[in-house]
A and B are shown apart, each in its own frame.
Chain A
Amino acid sequence: MAMLTAKDFATATPSWWCPGCGDYGVLSALKSALAELGKQPHEVAFVSGIGCSGKISGYLHSYAFHGVHGRALPVATAVKLANRDLTVIAAGGDGDGYAIGAGHFVHAVRRNPDITYIVMDNQTYGLTKGQASPTSATGYVASVSPEGNPDNPINGLALGLAAGATFVARGFSAQPKQLVQIIRAAIEHRGCSIVEVMSPCVTYNKINTYAWFKEHIEDAALRDDHRPSERTAAFDALTREGKIPLGIIYQEERPTLEERTHLPQVPIAKHDLHGDRGRYAALLEHYR
C-alpha cells in the first residue's frame, strides 16, 4: 500500500471546536505522526471519551469509538487484547481522564497494554462551559467555583508514573514539531504511553492561554539533569516547582499486558470459532 500523508487521516466531518482551540494542534500532530509511521487508517483503532477533546475521534479517519465520559481506557485496552495487530490510541480531556476516569487511568497504566493515551489538558471543562477541572489551579474562578477552586490540581503524569507508567511525556499543542515527535515515540513505545498535551481552551480558560503557556513551559531535554530512564529523576522533573517540563519525561521497557496474559500472536478477533468440538467435549469429562 502506498505511503499516506496526514491528509489521508482526515475526515470530511466539519469541526465543532471553537476557532483557535488547542485541540486542532493535537489532531494535526496525530495525523502527521500516523502518516510518518506509515500506518493505514484501517489498522488504527481510536477511542475517545466525552468532552470537546473527545470529539477528536470524529475527525480522524480510522476505526473510531466515541464512548461515554471517562471510559476510553478500558475500551482501548480491550480493543488491543482483541486485536493486537491494531495501533490503538485513546484520547480525551483532563476531566475525562483524571476526574471521572481517574480509576481507569491508574489501572490501565498499571496493566501496561501497548496503547497510547493522549490527555488534552486545557485545565477546564470545555464542553460543559468552563467549570474547574482536576488540573485547574487552586483558586481558579469558574461557574461552580465562584469563590475560587478549593481543590489542589492533580499531577496526572506523576500519578501515571506512580501507577507504573512505562512512557510519560508532555507536549504543547502550539509546538507541532515536538508534539509530532512525542506522539510518534509514544506510538512506537511498547507499552502504555501517556502523552499529556497542553491544549488551551480559548473560550473558557482566560488564565492558561497560549501566552501563559509560552511563559511557563520549558523543554525538559534541554536540562542537563534530564534522564528519561530514571524514575526518581522523572518524578523530580514532574513535581518540582517552576516551569512545566515538555518532552519525553520517562520511558522504560516492561512486559506488556498482551505478553503477560500470554495472548496468542494471531489476534483473537481472527480466530476460527468452529474447530474445537473435541476439546469442548473433553471438558465435560470433569462433570461425569
Chain B
Amino acid sequence: MILNSLEMMFGGQAGDGSLTTGDLIAGVFKRMGLEVYTYKDFPSRIRGGHTNYVIRASEQRNYGMADAVDSLVAFDLEAVQAHIDEMRPGGFVVFDNTSETVDGALRRSDVTWYDIPLAKIAKEELGLELVRNTISLGVLAALVGMDAGIVRADVTAVYQRKGEKVVDLNLRAIAAGEAYVREHYAGVPSGYALRAKPDGDRLIMMGNDAIAYGALVAGCRFMAGYPITPATDILEWMSKQLPKFGGVVVQAEDELAAITMTLGAAFTGVRAMTATSGPGQALMTEAIGLAGVLEIPVVVVECARTGPSTGMPTKTEQSNLNHLIYSGHGEIPRVILAPGTIEESFTLTTAAFNLADRWQLPVFVLTEQALCQSKATLAPFDLDAVEIDRGELIADGELTFGEYKRFAFTADGVSPRAIPGVYGGMHLAAGSEHNDAGVITENAANRARMMEKRMGKLEAMRDELPRAILHGVADADIAIVGYGANTGPIREAVDRLAAEKIPVRFLQLRTLWPFPEDDVRVFVHGAHHVFVVENNFTGQLERLIRAVTGPIDALRGLRKYDGRPFHPIEIIAPIRGIAAVGESVEVR
C-alpha cells in the first residue's frame, strides 16, 4: 500500500470536463493537507482532441511531474492508447467502458483495472451524461480514500453558482461512483491510500495567477494585451482585478498596439505591463527598441510556448530566449528574469517592476507553458516584503522652468524622469538618437556617449539583479545549469540522485540577461560534468554558457523539444550513466 503519494492523470476529449474535474481534485488534495502540483496537457482546440490533466499529490513539495503516473482515469480508449505506457507497474486504471473496451497488449496486467460504465451510470441513474466526471470523482474517493467531507464541500462550492439542483445532482453522482466501487470492486484494492492532514495556511495557485497578482501588488495599474495562449490568463485576471484598484486594462487590436500602449502609459508615469507569447513577442519587437532608447520602464511577460510560428500553442518550450536577448534592431539594455517556481513568478514579477523603474528600461519576465499554467500548493506570499521603488521620478514642484534635461548624463546612466503633467519637465522623448535634452541629433560624439549611457546600465545594475540559486551539493563534480519550468524536475533529480549517493549541484539561473557571467563561471569551474538542461533544439542557454567559459569539454546539453516538460528520470538517467561508468565521478 502506497500512502499519501499519487500521480493521477485524467484523460479524455477536450471539452469533456477533465480540466474542471482535475482542478477540483487538486483542490481536494490540497485541503487534505497534501502538497499538490498539476500539469495541463491539452490540445489547441475547443472541443475534441485528446486532453489530459496530471495531478501529483504527496507529502513533499513537488515542482514538477513524476516519472510515471500511478493512476489513469480514461474517459475513452484513446486516453488508454495514449498513456498506458506512462503508467507505473502496480498502478490502477479507471476506464469508462460504456461504449469501448480495452484488450490485448493495451490491457497491461501489471496494473489494476476498474472498468466502470461512467457514461451509462450518468445517463441512466442521474439523467445527464455530463456528470460522469463527478461520478469518477466518487470512484476515486472510494479507491484511494479521498476525504468524503472535503470532496462534498468542494463540489458544493464549485457548483453553487449553478443552483441547488446542480449541486444536488453532483453530490448524487459522487455517491453513485462510491456505490459502484463498493458493489463491484469491494475486494480489489487500488494499492494507494490518501490520509488527510491539517491543511495549514497554504494556497494553491497557477503560475499565471501569481504573475498577475505580483503585478497588481507591485502597483501595476495599466495593462494592454492581445489574447494568446498561454498568456491570456494574465490578461483575464487583470481585467477582473485592475479596475477594482483604480487601474485599467485594454484589449488591444494587436500586439503592436498592446506594447505601444504599454509604453504610452509607462511614459505617463503609470506602472504598466503587457503579456504575450512567441508570435506576439515577435510583433512587439519593434517597440522593445523604442522602450530602450526612450528609457521607458515597461514590464513584458512572455509565456513561452512551442514554436516556430504557431507551433503547438498549448505546449511548452524554452526556444524564445535568443529572441528576447537579441530582438530588435540596434542595441539597447534589457533585463530578462526567469522564475523557476510559482512563488518566484510572484517575487520576480514584483522585482521586474522595480528594476524597470529604477533603471528605466524594458524588463521581461520569461516563463513557459509548463510553469505558467501549472498549479501548486505554496505558502502565502509575504506582502510585507514587497517594496515599491519608483526610481528617480521627479515630483511636481521640483523643477524650475527651462532647466530640465530628460536624458541627462549621470554616473549610472539613469536620468531623473519627469512625467507629463509635472511643471517644467517638458521634453521630447524621441525614438531617433537625441542629446541629453531630447533634441534629435546625429552628432557623432553625442551618439557614442548616449550608447555608453544606455548600455552602461547593464553593468551598473548587476548587484541589484536576482541572483542564481545553488541547489544540491555545493562542491559536487556533476553540475547542472537550467532555469524556468525545468527548475522543478532538476531539483527532484538532484534530490533523488543524492539519495543514491550521487552528489550533484544545480545552478538555477533567475536572471538570464544581463547574463550572470560571474556566477556561471564560478559554478562551472571545477566540475567534471556540466549538464545544461533546456527545452529547445539548439541549446540556446548552453551557447551562452560557452561564450563565458570558452572551449570546455565538461559541458553537454540535455535537451527536450517535444513540447513536454522533463520528467525527473530523463535528467537522472544520463547522470546515473556517467556515475556508473565511474568517469571521474567521486561517489561519496
Instruction: Please indicate whether A and B come from the same complex rather than being unrelated chains.
Output: yes
Known contacts A64-B428, A66-B428, A104-B253; A267 and B264 CB within 8 A of each other: no
B399 shortest CB reach to chain A, Å: 9
Please tell me if B211 contacts chain A, counting CB pairs below 8 Å.
no
**CB distance B203 to A74 under 8 Å?**
no
Please tell me if B209 contacts chain A, counting CB pairs below 8 Å.
yes
- A40 contacts which chain B residues (CB < 8 A)? 423
- A103 contacts which chain B residues (CB < 8 A)? 253-254, 257
Q: Which residue of B lies closest to A71 (CB)?
A: B260
The stretch of A42-50, A137-145, A221-229 in contact with B is A42-50
For A62, A64, A71, the residue with the greatest tally of chain B CB atoms inside 10 Å of its CB is A71
Please tell me if A170 contacts chain B, counting CB pairs below 8 Å.
no
The stretch of B66-74, B244-252, B507-515 in contact with A is B244-252
Known contacts A64-B429, A287-B209; A71 and B216 CB within 8 A of each other: no
B12 shortest CB reach to chain A, Å: 26
B213-257 contact mask (Cβ, 8 Å, vs A): 1 or 0: 100110101101000000000000000010101111010111011
- A82 contacts which chain B residues (CB < 8 A)? 222, 264-265, 268-270, 272
B350 shortest CB reach to chain A, Å: 11
Please tell me if A63 contacts chain B, counting CB pairs below 8 Å.
yes
- A18 contacts which chain B residues (CB < 8 A)? none
Please tell me if B204 contacts chain A, counting CB pairs below 8 Å.
yes
**CB distance A81 to B248 under 8 Å?**
yes
**CB distance A47 to B270 under 8 Å?**
no
Interface of chain B, helix or strand or loop or mixed? mixed
A268 shortest CB reach to chain B, Å: 5
The stretch of A30-38, A245-253, A277-285 in contact with B is A277-285
A52 shortest CB reach to chain B, Å: 13
Q: Which residue of B lies closest to A287 (CB)?
A: B203
Within the complex, which residue of B217, B261, B381, B425 is in contact with A74, where a contact is CB–CB below 8 Å? B261
**CB distance A68 to B264 under 8 Å?**
no
A205 shortest CB reach to chain B, Å: 24
**CB distance B421 to A280 under 8 Å?**
no
Please tell me if A76 contacts chain B, counting CB pairs below 8 Å.
yes
Q: Which residue of B lies closest to A272 (CB)?
A: B219
Known contacts A42-B422, A81-B222; A277 and B268 CB within 8 A of each other: no
- B428 contacts which chain A residues (CB < 8 A)? 11, 13, 57-58, 64-66
Q: Which residue of B lies closest to A58 (CB)?
A: B428
**CB distance B440 to A269 under 8 Å?**
no
For B241, B253, B420, the residue with the greatest tally of chain A CB atoms inside 10 Å of its CB is B420
Question: Once bound together, how far apart are the Cα atoms of A104 and B253, in whole Å?
Answer: 7
B409 shortest CB reach to chain A, Å: 19
Please tell me if A236 contacts chain B, counting CB pairs below 8 Å.
no
A78-89 contact mask (Cβ, 8 Å, vs B): 1 or 0: 110111011000
A249-285 contact mask (Cβ, 8 Å, vs B): 1 or 0: 0000000000001111011111101101101110110
Please tell me if B290 contacts chain A, counting CB pairs below 8 Å.
yes
Known contacts A63-B425, A78-B268; A68 and B383 CB within 8 A of each other: no
- B248 contacts which chain A residues (CB < 8 A)? 81, 261, 263, 268
Question: Once bound together, how far apart are the Cα atoms of A114 and B245, in whole Å?
Answer: 22
**CB distance A268 to B222 under 8 Å?**
yes
- B254 contacts which chain A residues (CB < 8 A)? 103
A152 shortest CB reach to chain B, Å: 24
- A284 contacts which chain B residues (CB < 8 A)? 203, 213, 380-381
Question: Once bound together, how far apart are the Cα atoms of A270 and B393, in whole Å?
Answer: 12
Please tell me if A176 contacts chain B, counting CB pairs below 8 Å.
no
- B241 contacts which chain A residues (CB < 8 A)? 283
Please tell me if B419 contacts chain A, counting CB pairs below 8 Å.
yes
> How many A-B pairs fall under 8 Å by CB?
182
**CB distance B268 to A269 under 8 Å?**
yes
**CB distance B203 to A268 under 8 Å?**
no
- A77 contacts which chain B residues (CB < 8 A)? 250, 261, 264
- A107 contacts which chain B residues (CB < 8 A)? 252-253, 257
Please tell me if B439 contacts chain A, counting CB pairs below 8 Å.
yes
Within the complex, which residue of B205, B272, B421 is in contact with A43, where a contact is CB–CB below 8 Å? B421
Within the complex, which residue of A79, A106, A266, A271 is in contact with B268, where a contact is CB–CB below 8 Å? A79
Known contacts A43-B421, A82-B269, A262-B243; A75 and B430 CB within 8 A of each other: no
- A42 contacts which chain B residues (CB < 8 A)? 420-426
- B439 contacts which chain A residues (CB < 8 A)? 11, 13, 58
- B264 contacts which chain A residues (CB < 8 A)? 47, 65, 74-79, 82
Known contacts A68-B431, A75-B264, A78-B268; A274 and B420 CB within 8 A of each other: no
- A280 contacts which chain B residues (CB < 8 A)? 213, 216-217, 383
**CB distance A62 to B250 under 8 Å?**
no
Please tell me if A240 contacts chain B, counting CB pairs below 8 Å.
no
Which residues of B263-302 are within 8 A (CB) of A? Answer: 263-265, 267-272, 286-287, 290, 294
Please tell me if B13 contacts chain A, counting CB pairs below 8 Å.
no
- A184 contacts which chain B residues (CB < 8 A)? none
Please tell me if B152 contacts chain A, counting CB pairs below 8 Å.
no
Known contacts A74-B264, A103-B254; A268 and B246 CB within 8 A of each other: yes
**CB distance A83 to B256 under 8 Å?**
no
**CB distance A63 to B423 under 8 Å?**
no
**CB distance B221 to A271 under 8 Å?**
yes
- B204 contacts which chain A residues (CB < 8 A)? 287-288
Question: Once bound together, how far apart are the Cα atoms of A63 and B439, in whole Å?
Answer: 13
Q: List 20 A-B contacts (CB under 8 A).
A: A13-B440, A66-B430, A68-B260, A78-B262, A79-B420, A81-B248, A83-B269, A104-B257, A107-B253, A263-B248, A264-B246, A268-B246, A268-B265, A269-B420, A269-B421, A273-B219, A276-B245, A280-B216, A284-B213, A287-B209
19 A-B pairs besides A65-B294, A280-B213 with CB distance below 8 A are: A11-B428, A45-B268, A50-B431, A63-B420, A65-B264, A68-B290, A74-B252, A75-B263, A78-B263, A79-B268, A81-B222, A83-B270, A85-B421, A86-B268, A104-B253, A267-B421, A269-B421, A271-B221, A284-B203
Write the residues of chain B forming the contact surface with A, with a CB cutoff of 8 angstroms. 202-205, 209, 213, 216-217, 219, 221-222, 224, 241, 243, 245-248, 250, 252-254, 256-258, 260-265, 267-272, 286-287, 290, 294, 380-381, 383, 388, 390, 419-432, 439-440
